[in-house]
Each structure stands twice: as structure tokens, then as C-alpha cells.
Structure 1
Amino acid sequence: MTLVARLLVAGRLDVDISAEPGDVVALVGPNGAGKSTFVHALAGLQRAEGSAVLDGRDLLALAPQDRSVGVVFQDQRLFPHLSALDNVAFGLRSRGSTKASARAAARNWLDRLGVGELAGRKPAQLSGGQAQRVAIARALVTEPDLLLLDEPFTGLDVGVAATLRIELGRHLADFRGVTVLVTHDALDALTLATSVAVLDAGRIAQHGTPTDVAARPRTEHVARLVGLNVIREADRLRAFSPAAVTVSLQAPTDSTRNRWSGVVRGAAPHGDAIRLQVSGDHDLIADVTPAASRELALVPGQQVWLSVKETAVTTYDAHPSR
């Protein structure tokens, strides 16, 4: 079920993506980058030009119901008047399955996702995590060739999201179609995806394996997602860890090349450290010990200097040849 898509939405999107059976492509990027527009175009919910060839058929030439596409939205979009069972069975019923066979398949998927005992409940009687499991079951029960997941963990409790991520990963490992996952969470991309496509202003800014993208991010948004600092210098990018940053109240007196002044904009716990958000010529993040944070009075508004040894910086091309 190979997918080769080149979608254009005037003034908003110009994206070219391909994927093989079993691939999970994570779409990441800032708000307004075009992620949901791309997914909606594949689903037939957004008009687009170009083509999206899946298993030899151009999806754009087909009505939404004929595309063999399953969609999971961040707000579930379950039918409020139907039970969980009938929500999941709806897709099969609309494709001509008998009520009995559709309900049997729906019950099987609800059981597989751990919510079989909730089959008789309506959406208003479900928690966020339970409702999202029902939505995932509804998308998978029709055995689609293309599965679209539009931020499926948004709004869920951290623990619920973690459990659901594990369960979804197990199902995706057995899914033989193509999956496109929209996410704002680096953990989703690193644990669920086989490749990551970074969208910026409606275009692909970077595409590669999760490991490659995390190690050499080419946009500030992705750098923040994976917890790195990235500075552009002409056609080169320089990346370094927040843990490699030294914070001081006075300009460094040594020969350190990499030094910047700025103002602390925020400070919050991050593991065993305190992570500082510092704004200046560059917006940077730095990790310091709680003791150092107290000693230097690193509170919002404090002027600071940041420095990094050259040996802690990785430098690479901003626009590598493809």
C-alpha cells in the first residue's frame, strides 16, 4: 500500500511525501505549518490539488467514503447519540455490512483496545482516554489502507496518554497500511514513527528517521521538541544541549567563542535540573542545578550570560543535498 502524495492548497501547503507499507510518518512543526491541512486533504475533508496515489489509486479523485482511509481526530468526533459499539460499527455499516457482522467486528476492536466493557456507553459517559480508544477502534475496524492520526493524545492526562501510546504502538506494529501521525510531542515521533517529516510554512523543511531528525534538527521548533539549542550561521547550523550551557551573571573572562547575553524569561524544573528560557539575540535554553539557580537568583527578568565550549557544539549543513 505505497503512498506517494504531492498536495497543494493555495497559499497554505505544498508538500511531497512518500511512504511504504507499515511506515508511520510523523508530521511535526509549529502551529499553522500545515500538518492538519495535509491530513484533512488526504481524508477528503480539505480540497487540494496535486495527487495522492495509494496502492495505484489517486485518493483525490475519490469521494471521502471511497478512499479506504481511517481518521482519528484529537477531539474524537464520536457520534453523541450512538453507543461506543455503534460508533465503531458505523463505518462498516455504511459500507454495506450487516448489523450483526459490523457489531461483532466492532466489539472485537473494543476488546483489543481494552474498552470492551464500555460498549454500551455513549460518548458523554466516557473519559477522554476511553473515548480516544473508541475513536481508534472506529478508525481501524474498517481495515483501512491509510490511517490518519491527528494529535491523538492531545488533552489526555499524561499517564493515560503514556498508556495509550504503548497500546497504539502495538497495533501500529501489526498494521500493514501507511500511517500518518500529526503530533507536537517528540516522544510520539521517537517511539511510534519510522520517519519524521518536519513542516514549516506549508513545506517540508526536513525529512528523515526519528534518530537523524532528533540528532540534527533543522528548525528551531524541532530543536525545542527534542530539547536542543540550534543556532543558524549562514548555511550552517550549530546544535548543543542545554546541559552544556554555563550560566553566569558577568561576561565570561576566558576565550570561549560561544557566548551570548540575554534575559531569563522562565524557569521550571526539568528532571534533576532547572531549565531556563533565555531571550536575547537568540532564544536559548540552559539547564542548571537548583543550587546554582538559587545562588545566582535566576528568576524571570535577570540578565545573564550563556557560554558553551566549542567541543560541545555539533555543526552541520542547514540545507543538505537530497
Structure 2
Amino acid sequence: MLVRVDLPGRVVAQLEVPAGEVLVVIGPNGAGKSTLLRAVAGLERAAVRVGDDDWTDLPVPRRRIGYVFQDQSLFPHLSAVANVEFGPRSRGVPRREARARARHWLDRFGIGDLADRGPGQLSGGQAQRVALARALATDPQVLLLDEPFTGLDTTAATSLRIELSQHLRDFAGVTLLVTHDAIDALTLADRVLVLDGGVVAQVGRPEEVAARPQTAHVARLVGLNVVRLGDELVTFSPSAVNVSVREPEGSPRLRWYGTVATLAPHGDALRVLVRGETDLIADVTHAAAAELGLVAGRDVWLSVKATAVSREGTTARGR
């Protein structure tokens, strides 16, 4: 199914999205991710086509969409079950059938026992499950998810991500999921779309985009260092970075000077964030960190062998 959005000066995207596919949309702030979803939903004036249908002048209530916002946007005066049945009712489904459909979806998300609670009586994870149930209860053609795990703690986000993955496997429509988290792209996406400056910069399977990022934002998102050298961007792994307290010698090395900002466990190593003219990350062993006296505020030199730098798949774009 072809989904085309043309919002002059802001977003231009033509996507071939097969029914049943989850397309995860990533990109830097201001790239047009949420605007893309709002345009499909009819909340932004734009030329929109979905399959053979022209949605440009189609009123919002007539668009077969389910929409989950970052803040859930549940109706505060309605119970969980009333929130979920609102969508079907607004599309003309009889009250009894809408209520049955709402309870079915609450049960599927494991919160059927919370049906009579108001949004203020729900945890963040429970409220987001209600929001997802409300979106799916409308039997949408296009499911729009705008950073659905924002604001949830790690445990709640991980649990909900697993549940959502299971539900999306059974969803026959198209899913567009906006996120800033690489975990979502790598675990939920059939394909990843990268927006930059309102246009499509890259589309591919998650592993392809991660292996050959074509924008600086994506490179950073998947845990790579990205540095501009002249008119091109180069990338390299944190494990390829050598950390020292003295300026390194030898011509084959690229080098940078900076100050340690943070140190955090990363597998068996420590991930060190160094701020300077270019912010970089390096993975070092605990022993090396102790030997070098790495603490926040310590000035260090970073270096990378030229052979560890990749230029393939990068461009001069980047934010």
C-alpha cells in the first residue's frame, strides 16, 4: 500500500508500506516525524494518499486511523473502558458492540480488571495500554504511534514493547511508529525510515540502516561515533577508540582532545563520554579506566587508527 504525504516546505514522504508492516520512523528533532503522523491523521493540512484513496480533504473522523500520542491523551472524565469504546462509537458502532469490543481489547492488553478506573487511577504503563487498546479498537487501516514508550520507566517500557510486538504481528493494517530509541527500531520494525529536514534520507531493514547509517543522527542512535572530516562524515565504533592522558603519537591516527563527562557500565566495559569540539564515546576496560584515573572532569586524548574508520554509507548530511 502506497502512503504519500506532501506538506510543502515541511514534509515530503512517499512510502511503499505493505499491509501488516511496521515502519519505524526516526530522525533528529525537527525532522518532521510527528508532523508526518499528524498529516496522515488529518491534523495538519497536507496532500495525503493512502493506497488508492485520496485523504487530502477527508475529515478526520472518516479516516481509518488509530492514533496513540506521547502523553496518551485519554479523556480524563471517562473510565478506561469508556475511553476505548469511544472510537468505535464515534464511527457508528452500536453501544453494546462497542462496549464488547472495548472489553476485548482491554483483556488482550491484560488490564480488563481496570476497566472501570479513571485515567488518574492508572499507572503510566496501564494508561498507555488503554491508549493502545483505544487505537486498535477502531479497526484502523493505519496505526499511528508517536513515541509510545515516552515517560515510562525501563521495566514498564520493556514489558509494553514486548506486548505491542505481539499485537502488531496480528495487525493487518500499516503501522507508522515514531521513536527516538534505537531499541524500538531494532526490535519492532520490519523497516526503518529516516527523516531528515522533512525528506526521506534512508529506508531499509533495521540491520541495514544500523550497519550503514546515512545520517549523523542515525549513526549516533545505533551507538557509533560520527565525525565530519571535510565534506564527509566518517563513523567508528566506541571500541575502536583509544583513551590516553597524553597526546598520542603516530601519523595513522585521528585524534581529539576533550574532557570526560560521564562513565557508565556497558557490558564488561565502561562507556566513557568525552566532550570537546566533537563529542565522542569510547569503551574501555575497568582496569584501563583505573590506570588512567578516568573520572568526570579529567582531560584526555582520544585517537582512532585510520583503518578503523568507515566512510561507506555516510554523506555530508548530519545534525
| TM-score range normalised by the length of the shorter chain | over 0.9
Match of 1:230 in 2: 226
Aligned partner of 1:243 among 235, 239, 243? 239
Q: Deviations over 1:80-129 (max 9, x none)?
A: 11111111011111111111100001111111111111111111111110
Matched, 1:168 2:169: no
The RMSD of aligned alpha carbons is: 1.9
Q: Which runs of 5+ in 1 are unaligned?
A: none
Superposition deviation, residue 31 in structure 1: 1.8
Distance 1:310 1:182 in 2: 35
Aligned partner of 1:135 among 131, 135, 142? 131
What is the letter of the counterpart of residue 301 of structure 1?
A: G
| Equivalence map 1:3-14=2 (5 Å) | 3-10=2-9, 12-14=10-12
Aligned partner of 1:21 among 6, 9, 19? 19
Match of 1:275 in 2: 271
Match of 2:282 in 1: 286
What is the letter of the counterpart of residue 282 of structure 1?
A: T
Matched, 1:257 2:253: yes
Distance 1:164 1:213 in 2: 24
User: Do the aligned partners of 1:235 and 1:318 also contact (CA within 8 Å) in 2?
Assistant: no
Distance 1:170 1:125 in 2: 26
Superposition deviation, residue 281 in structure 1: 4.0
| Equivalence map 1:68-83=2 (5 Å) | 68-83=64-79
Superposition deviation, residue 255 in structure 1: 4.1
User: Do the aligned partners of 1:237 and 1:317 also contact (CA within 8 Å) in 2?
Assistant: no
Distance 1:243 1:318 in 2: 19
Matched, 1:86 2:87: no
Matched, 1:33 2:14: no
Deviates more, 1:163-172 or 1:250-259: 250-259
Match of 2:304 in 1: 308
Superposition deviation, residue 219 in structure 1: 2.1
What is the letter of the counterpart of residue 7 of structure 1?
A: D
Q: Deviations over 1:212-266 (max 9, x none)?
A: 1111112222122111112344565422110121101112224433322223233
Q: Which runs of 5+ in 2 are unaligned?
A: none
Percent of matched pairs sharing the same residue: 59
What is the letter of the counterpart of residue 243 of structure 2?
A: V
Distance 1:241 1:318 in 2: 14
Distance 1:7 1:193 in 2: 23
Deviates more, 1:226-235 or 1:69-78: 226-235
User: Do the aligned partners of 2:213 and 2:314 also contact (CA within 8 Å) in 1?
Assistant: no
Matched, 1:187 2:156: no
Superposition deviation, residue 314 in structure 1: 2.6
User: Do the aligned partners of 2:212 and 2:313 also contact (CA within 8 Å) in 1?
Assistant: no
What is the letter of the counterpart of residue 6 of structure 2?
A: L
**Counterpart of 2:172 in 1: which secondary structure?**
coil
Superposition deviation, residue 173 in structure 1: 1.0
Distance 1:222 1:300 in 2: 27
What is the letter of the counterpart of residue 6 of structure 1?
A: V
User: Do the aligned partners of 2:5 and 2:40 also contact (CA within 8 Å) in 1?
Assistant: no
Distance 2:286 2:163 in 1: 36
What is the TM-score when the length of structure 2 is the normalising length? 0.93
Aligned length: 316
Deviates more, 1:214-223 or 1:61-70: 214-223
Aligned partner of 1:64 among 55, 60, 63? 60
